[in-house]
Structure 1
C-alpha cells in the first residue's frame, strides 16, 4: 500500500473507505498538530498528521525515541488535546465531547495497554481484570464470566488468584491486555507494550494482540520500536520530524 508524508493530506485517501468495505474507519485523524513550549524553543511533536485506521486492523506506529509516538497515542485516546486538527474515534469527534463525554468514551470504547503494565499490586490477576467492570457497575455474575473468559483468552486461566508480584513480566502484560479488553472496547491503544519484555516474550504478547484482533474484532494501534514485531501488523505508520509516512 503506497504511502506519503501526511503534512495535511490524507494517507491512502481515507484508507479506501476502510479497506474498500465502505465501513466508517474506527479512527480518522486530520491535520493533527501538537507542540510543547513557545517561541524558538517550541518542540513540534506533530505537524499536520492525517491517517485512517479501518475497523479490525492492527496498525503499528514506529519512530525514533521522542518522535511523537506517545503524543499521538494520547491524542487518539482522548488523554490530551491537540493544538489543531481533529480526531474521530468510532464516529465521534473528540473535541466536541467535553470531559464527561471523553471519560465515557475511554471507559466504554477504548482500552489502554502501557509499557509499565499498571496493575494494582494488592489485587489478584482476576481482580485486576475485573476493575473496569466494577467501575461500570457490572453485575457480579457478568463480571466473573467475562474475567474468566479473558484470562482464558490470554492463557492465564490457571493464574487467576496470583498477584502481579507472583507473575512474570510477560504474564503481567497478558493480565494488562485482558484488563484492557474487559469492557469490550472497539479500540485498543498500546504504548510500547513489549518494552520491558525479552524478545521471545515480547513476540508472544504481540501475537496475542494479533489474535485479539481476530477473536474480538478489536482495532489496535500499537507503538513499538522493535522491528521484529512490525511484521505482525496489517500496516506500519512511521513518525519522522512530526510527520507521518506509511509503509
Structure 2
C-alpha cells in the first residue's frame, strides 16, 4: 500500500537548515496498522505529510496505492487526498455548527454523493465508531473522545485505502486514548484499510501490527 524510498526533507538553508528526514525507507503492506514512534521533532509529522501528499520531499519517492506521488500535479494530489487517503489529527478539526452526522457527511457532500447513499454511509460509520445515538449532537456537546470518534468516521467517509493519523490520542486522557486506538485497530479490520499512526504513547504501540521508530530523521528500529 505504501512504499517510501530514500526520503529526505529539510527546512531552511545553510547552517540553519533543519533536516527533518534523512533517507527514510520502508513499506507498509495492505491492511496493516503501522505505528510511528519517536520523540517530538523526530520527523513523524513530516513523514505523514509526505505520505499523505500534503508536502513534497527534497529527494526520494513515495508510492501510495500504486501511485507515484512525484508524478501527480496539484489537482492529482488533491484527488489523492480526497479519494484515497483519510486524515485524523490531534486537533479534531470538526465544524462547530454542524452535527456529528453532518460533519461525517462533509467529504461525501464535496464529492456530490447521492443524498440517500450519503445518509446510509454516515449512519453506518457512526454505528461503527459507537456514536449512532449522538448523530444530532454538535461537537461542543460531545466529549473529547467522542469528537475524535466523529473525526475518524469522517476520515473513513470516502472509503480511503489509507488512513493517516497524527497523534490522534494527544488531547485525550490515557483511558480514552486507549479506547480510540482500539477503535482505529477495529476500523482497519472492518473497513479493510491500511493505517499509519504516529504516537508518542508507548502504551498504545502494542495494538499496532508493526512499529517503526524515528530518531533524528531516520528509522532506527523495525
Query: What TM-score, normalized by structure 2, do the two folds share?
Result: 0.99
Which residue number in structure 2 is paired with residue 232 of structure 1?
Answer: 207
Which residue number in structure 2 is paired with residue 215 of structure 1?
Answer: 190
8 A Cα contact 1:27 1:88, kept in partner: yes
Which residue number in structure 1 is paired with residue 133 of structure 2?
Answer: 158
CA distance in 2, matches of 1:165, 1:242: 37
Partner deviation per Cα, 1:37-72 (whole Å, 9 max, x = no partner): 111111101001000000000000011101111000
Partner deviation per Cα, 1:126-184 (whole Å, 9 max, x = no partner): 00000000000000000000000000000000000000000000000000000000000
CA distance in 2, matches of 1:164, 1:137: 24
Deviation of the 1:239 alpha carbon:
0.6
SS in structure 2 at match of 1:229: helix
SS in structure 1 at match of 2:20: strand
- Residue 66 of structure 2 corresponds to residue 91 of structure 1: yes
RMSD across aligned C-alpha pairs, in angstroms?
Answer: 0.5
Partner deviation per Cα, 1:98-127 (whole Å, 9 max, x = no partner): 001110110000000000000000000000
CA distance in 2, matches of 1:67, 1:245: 11
CA distance in 2, matches of 1:205, 1:77: 21
Which residue number in structure 1 is paired with residue 2 of structure 2?
Answer: 27
SS in structure 1 at match of 2:148: helix
Which residue number in structure 1 is paired with residue 87 of structure 2?
Answer: 112
Deviation of the 1:246 alpha carbon:
3.0
CA distance in 2, matches of 1:216, 1:182: 10
SS in structure 2 at match of 1:80: coil
* Count of aligned pairs: 222
**Which of 130, 135, 143 is matched with 2:118 structurally?**
143
- Residue 61 of structure 2 corresponds to residue 61 of structure 1: no
Deviation of the 1:245 alpha carbon:
2.6
- Residue 208 of structure 2 corresponds to residue 243 of structure 1: no
**Which of 140, 145, 168 is matched with 1:170 structurally?**
145
**Which of 162, 165, 189 is matched with 2:164 structurally?**
189
Aligned structure 1 segments of 4 or more residues deviating by more than 2 angstroms = none
**Which of 28, 47, 51 is matched with 2:26 structurally?**
51
SS in structure 2 at match of 1:103: helix
Query: Is there any run of 5+ residues in structure 1 with no aligned partner, and where?
Result: 1-25
SS in structure 2 at match of 1:189: strand
Query: What TM-score, normalized by structure 1, do the two folds share?
Result: 0.89
CA distance in 1, matches of 2:30, 2:178: 23
